[in-house]
C-alpha cells in the first residue's frame, strides 16, 4: 500500500500527521508513506527526523485581506505546486491521500482529487481552517475532534475521531516523585508547568516576568518553558534579578512526559494538539488562546473545554495581570483541580491515530 500524507507549518499539524503515519505502519508494516510539505517550514526537518521521506513544495499561505495584490504570486506558487504534486502522484502511485491542514495539503489534495485518488482530511480544531474547508467536497472522509463540525463540512462525511497525539506521553512507568526531582522540584509542593509551544509565547513569558515577586513568595513551584525564540531575551531579563528558587527555567523541555507527570496544573496556549494532550492525560489547565491565529480558532478550542468545566480561560489581553495569580489560586485548590482534570479526561479520545489509520486503509483498499 502507498499513502501520501500532506500538511504542516506548525507542530499542531505535524504531530498528528506523524502519528497517523506510525499507526498505518503498525497496522500494515509494508506500507510506503510519502509526506508532502512546504519548503522552509518545520515539517521539512521534523518529518525526516521521524523516519519518513518528505518532498517540499514552493507553497505559501494566503495573505489577509484576501484581495491583497501579493496573493497573485501566492496563487501562482499554488498552481506550480499542484503541477509538481501531480508529477509526484504519477510516479509514486498512491492509493490514498491524507491532508492534515496547512499550506501544502491544499495543493496536494486538490491534485490527488483531480487524478482520482481518494482523499481523507483530518481537522484538529473546533473552528475549521480555510484549507480544510475548501477541500471538504473533495474528501471521502473528514475526521474531526469536536462536536458541531457540520457547520463547516458535509455531515455525511464527518467521523468523530479526536486528534492523534504523541503516544510517548503515555508512559505508565513514570512516578511523579521521580519526575519532580528531575526538575529540582519538591514532590510535596504543587507544581505548575508553563508552556507556550516550541517557539514560545510572548504574552505568557511576559506574564511570568511581571509576576516574579509573586512567584517568589508563593508556595507553588513553576517549570517554565520559554521557547527557543525568547531564550536570549529571557536569560537577559533574569540576569538582572535574583531568580526565585521555586522557578525552573528552560527554553525547551525535551522530556515532556516527565514535565506533564510532575505538573498539577498546566498553563498553555490553546492549540488543538496541546488541548488533546491535556485531555488524554487528564491535566487541569489554564488556557491562554493566541490572538494571532486565523479565525481566532484557539479561543474556539478553549471554549469547547471551558463550557464543560475542563479548563479555565484567561484572555491574552488579561494574562499579564491575571495569569500567575489565577494559577496559584487554582493549583492550591485540590477540589477544583480534581474537577478540571476529570472533566478534561472525559473529553479524551484514546486511540485517535489508529481509528484514522483504519479509515485510510479502508479508502486505499476500496
pLDDT in tens, 184-205: 999 999 999 999 876 668 999 9
Nearest C-alpha neighbor of 287 from the set 309, 308, 266: 266
Check residue 117 and give its pLDDT.
97
CA 162 to chain centroid: 12
Dihedral sign for Cα 303, 304, 307, 313, please: negative
- Please check whether residue 14 is in contact with residue 47, taking contact to mean a CB–CB distance below 8 angstroms: yes
CA 315 to chain centroid: 19
- Model pTM score: 0.85
Instruction: Give the tens place of pLDDT for each residue, 75-124.
Output: 888 899 999 999 999 999 999 999 998 889 999 999 999 999 999 999 99
Check residue 304 and give its pLDDT.
92
Check residue 37 and give its pLDDT.
92
Residue 267, helix vs strand vs coil: strand
Check residue 152 and give its pLDDT.
94
Check residue 198 and give its pLDDT.
63
Instruction: Give the tens place of pLDDT for each residue, 119-168.
Output: 999 999 888 888 899 999 999 999 999 889 999 999 999 999 999 987 77
DSSP annotation of 218 reads: S
Q: Does 281 have pLDDT greater than 70?
A: yes
Q: What distance, in Å, lies between the first and last C-alpha atoms of the chain? A: 12
Nearest C-alpha neighbor of 100 from the set 5, 4, 1: 5
Rounded Cα distance between 179 and 248, Å, is 13
Residue 273's pLDDT band (boundaries 50, 70, 90)? confident
DSSP string, 72-106: HHHHHHHHHHHHHHHHHHHHH--SEEEE-SSHHHH
> In the structure grid, which three cell numbers stand for residue 104, read together?
501544502
**Could you state, in order of their start, the residue ranges of all structural domains in the chain?**
2-163+350-365, 168-345
Check residue 91 and give its pLDDT.
97
Half-sphere exposure of 72 (CA within 13 A, CB side): 2
Which residue carries 522540584 as its cell? 185
Cβ neighbours of residue 289 closer than 8 Å, sequence gap 6 or more = 269, 270, 296, 298, 299, 301, 302, 313, 315, 316
Strand order in the sheet with 96-99: 53-57, 32-38, 2-6, 96-99, 119-123, 141-144, 158-160
Nearest C-alpha neighbor of 255 from the set 349, 178, 187, 201: 178
Per CATH, domain 168-345 is 3.40.50.2000: yes
Check residue 64 and give its pLDDT.
74
Superfamily of domain 2-163+350-365: Glycogen Phosphorylase B; (3.40.50.2000)
Q: Do the domains 2-163+350-365 and 168-345 sit in the same CATH topology, yes or no?
A: yes
Residue 32, helix vs strand vs coil: strand
Amino acid at each position: 500500500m502507498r499513502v501520501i500524507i500532506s500538511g504542516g507549518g506548525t507542530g499542531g499539524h505535524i504531530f498528528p500527521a506523524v502519528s497517523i503515519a506510525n499507526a498505518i505502519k503498525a497496522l500494515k508494516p509494508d506500507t510506503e508513506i510519502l509526506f508532502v510539505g512546504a519548503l522552509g517550514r518545520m515539517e521539512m526537518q521534523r518529518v525526516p527526523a521521524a523516519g519518513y521521506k518528505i518532498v517540499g513544495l514552493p507553497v505559501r499561505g494566503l495573505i489577509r485581506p484576501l484581495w491583497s495584490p501579493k496573493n497573485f504570486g501566492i496563487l501562482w506558487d499554488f498552481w506550480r505546486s499542484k503541477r509538481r504534486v501531480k508529477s509526484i502522484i504519477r510516479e509514486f502511485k498512491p492509493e490514498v491521500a491524507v491532508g492534515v491542514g496547512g499550506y501544502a495539503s491544499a495543493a496536494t489534495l486538490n491534485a490527488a482529487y483531480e487524478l482520482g485518488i481518494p482523499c481523507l482530511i483530518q481537522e484538529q480544531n473546533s473552528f475549521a481552517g480555510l484549507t480544510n474547508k475548501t477541500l471538504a467536497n473533495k474528501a471521502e472522509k473528514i475526521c474531526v475532534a469536536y462536536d458541531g463540525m457540520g457547520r463547516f463540512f458535509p455531515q455525511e462525511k464527518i467521523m468523530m475521531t479526536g486528534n492523534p497525539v504523541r503516544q510517548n506521553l503515555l508512559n505508565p512507568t513514570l512516578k511523579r516523585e521521580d519526575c519532580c526531582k528531575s526538575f529540582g522540584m519538591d514532590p510535596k509542593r504543587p507544581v505548575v508547568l508553563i508552556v507556550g509551544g516550541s517557539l514560545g509565547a510572548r504574552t505568557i513569558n511576559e506574564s511570568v516576568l511581571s509576576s516574579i515577586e509573586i512567584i517568589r513568595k508563593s508556595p507553588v513551584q513553576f517549570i517554565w518553558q520559554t521557547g527557543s525564540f525568547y531564550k536570549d531575551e529571557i536569560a537577559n531579563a533574569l540576569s538582572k534579578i535574583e531568580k526565585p528558587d521555586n522557578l525552573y527555567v528552560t527554553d525547551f523541555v525535551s522530556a515532556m512526559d516527565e514535565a506533564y507527570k510532575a505538573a498539577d496544573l498546566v498553563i498553555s496556549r490553546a492549540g488543538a494538539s496541546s488541548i488533546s494532550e491535556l485531555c488524554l492525560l487528564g491535566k487541569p489547565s489554564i488556557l491562554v488562546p493566541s490572538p494571532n491565529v486565523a479565525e481566532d480558532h484557539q479561543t474556539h478550542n478553549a471554549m469547547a473545554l471551558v463550557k464543560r468545566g475542563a479548563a479555565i480561560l484567561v484572555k491574552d489581553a488579561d494574562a499579564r495581570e491575571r495569569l500567575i495569580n489565577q494559577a496559584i489560586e487554582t493549583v492550591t485548590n485540590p477540589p477544583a483541580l480534581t474537577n478540571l482534570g476529570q472533566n478534561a479526561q472525559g473529553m479524551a479520545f484514546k486511540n485517535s491515530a489508529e481509528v484514522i489509520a483504519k479509515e485510510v486503509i479502508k479508502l486505499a483498499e476500496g
